[in-house]
Amino acid sequence: MAPNIYLVRQRISRLGQRMSGFQINLNPLKEPLGFIKVLEWIASIFAFATCGGFKGQTEIQVNCPPAITENKTVTATFGYPFRLNEASFQPPPGVNICDVNWKDYVLIGDYSSSAQFYVTFAVFVFLYCIAALLLYVGYTSLYLDSRKLPMIDFVVTLVATFLWLVSTSAWAKALTDIKIATGHNIIDELPPCKKKAVLCYFGSVTSMGSLNVSVIFGFLNMILWGGNAWFVYKETSLHSPSNTSAPHSQGGIPPPTGI
């Protein structure tokens, strides 16, 4: 029992010594492993910012002759996390349009699960990239001398690549449904617009260009993480087991690393 405690203390002491040796080394950023990590960090910012910061509205024009002959605008405001079933229609203040309480009617659909999964994952990736860059730049020797850290980095890279594919695909499908739910189909779904006395026309909807960009950055992130998996793999013992097993005294020459 005592030897085990001694070994644990010794390992903790060594780790503490390594962690205390923080030294900024920008050379890893010149290599593919560090440079691509910076690109991943930037791309993750664009991914969650373009999706999570969206606000828009859709408009319909309504009239009911002969009581109201000119078109009146009714709007429904929506945005992240895209719970459209909570976005009610709002007439102009103090205006009664065709004796309909428009606030009782909402858009159709709840796409919050796909949107929140995508944004939350992008934020976690953003934080992980900061931690990885801190390790690459500040603790280069600790990363290179360790067998576990490159392996953990490699596993996280593979998982992140897969999750980028899943989250972006789900969000792309949800975005397609959002465009349909806020487009011309509104007229066919609104009960007041089915009345003969009420005439409804689709007005406009806010451009969703930023949401399209978020999907593009999602797939771009997947490509970056998938490509970077090779460079992370090169740092693991799976690619170069001789790096730690072949002693210098026996003529073993460790292969060059990516960093």
pLDDT (tens digit per residue) in 189-222: 899 988 888 889 999 999 999 999 999 999 999 9
Contact in structure between 190 and 133 (CB atoms under 8 Å): no
Q: What are the pLDDT digits (tens) for 99-118?
A: 888 999 999 999 999 999 99
pLDDT score recorded for residue 6: 60
Which range among 19-33, 94-108, 169-183, 185-199 shows the weakest confidence by mean pLDDT?
A: 19-33
C-alpha span between 216 and 234 (Å, rounded):
28
Give 30-39 pLDDT, tens digit per residue.
888 899 999 9
pLDDT of residue 252: 43
Domain boundaries, the chain: 25-232
What CATH number labels 25-232? 1.20.140
What whole-number distance in Å separates Cα of residue 226 and Cα of residue 222? 6
Bridge pairing between strands 199-205 and 68-79: unpaired
Look at residues 22, 44, 238 and name the one whose alpha carbon lies nearest to residue 148. 238
125-165 pLDDT per residue, tens: 999 999 999 998 988 888 878 888 889 999 999 999 999 99
For residue 33, give every residue at least 6 positions away whose Cβ sits within 8 Å of its Cβ, in sequence order, or none: 136, 228, 231, 232, 234, 235, 258, 259
Please tell me the predicted confidence (pLDDT) of residue 258.
Answer: 55
Whether the pTM exceeds 0.85: the reply is no
Query: Which of these ranges, 17-21, 77-81, 180-184, has the smallest mean pLDDT?
Result: 17-21
What is residue 83's predicted lDDT score, i.e. its pLDDT? 95
Pair of tokens at residue 258: 């990516």
Non-local CB neighbours of 110 within 8 Å, separated by 6+ positions: 82, 83, 84, 85
Among left, alpha and beta (phi > 0; psi -120 to 50; other), residue 65 is: beta
The pLDDT of residue 228: 93
Distances (CA, A) of 210 to 56, 57, 216: 11, 14, 10
Residues 6+ apart with CB under 8 A from 230: none
